[in-house]
Amino acid sequence: MKPFSAVLFDLDGTLVDTAPDLAFALNSLMAEEGLEVLPYDTVRPVASHGSAGLLGLGFGISPDHEDYPSLQQRFLQLYQDNIARETTLFEGMEEVITALENANITWGIVTNKPAFLTDPLVEKLNLTHRAGCVVSADTTPFSKPHPAPMLHACDVIKQIPEACIYIGDAARDIEAGKNANMRTVAALYGYLSDQDQPENWQADASIEHPRDILKWI
């Protein structure tokens, strides 16, 4: 990996392990609707795909279904109420971001999570004042894989895209990074399903554990 001056992270499944609380919210909603709850291992691979993916998993519906808006509203409320119930940084990630800070390498967050969920979660994890930027799905008119959020992050941290590494656990993350001319890293420890094929994402590198990032610092 060539010299770099900033590292940007996807949030869910890359920087932070949010799947336990997303699974809790989905299963709470399913229980309310009289459905049998799902095993955590079934929910985890879908955790990066937002409410559409999770409601599709739990209820077998897509966003154009007539029941989707009400179920989504209730799901988001349940998740918001339990947003940091069990969510933590991935094991080893505190060591990574501390090492970045000690090396004067800026780090930030670019996520497809909406700001009304992103901001309180980042605050509860005491990351707000540490991150050089926090870019959410609605910070710009477009979300990943569009390059707009990535380029906005660069504007905030005053870095050129070519000097940034973007780390994510989904194909759209790698696509977004490449669309913005950033170097990209696939987080294989994240929320990948059996259908995902990270070997085809054309990332510049892949990592099995957050601590693998330390090899570049």
Strand partners, 12: 16
Tell me how far apart the alpha carbons of residues 41 and 20 are, in angstroms, rounded to a whole number.
Answer: 10
Q: Is 10 a catalytic residue?
A: yes
CA 123 to chain centre: 15
Question: Residue 67: what residue type?
Answer: D
Instruction: Please tell me whether residue 144 adopts helix, strand or coil conformation.
Output: coil
Q: What is the rounded (10 degree) CA torsion for 7, 11, 16, 18? A: -170
Q: Is 194 a catalytic residue?
A: no
φ, ψ (nearest 5 deg) of residue 65: -75, 145
Going through 18-148 in order, the beta strands assigned E by DSSP cover: 88-89, 106-110, 134-135
Strand partners, 8: 108, 166
Q: DSSP alpha helices (H): ranges in 88-190? A: 93-102, 115-124, 148-157, 171-179
Q: Enumerate the active-site residues.
A: 10, 12
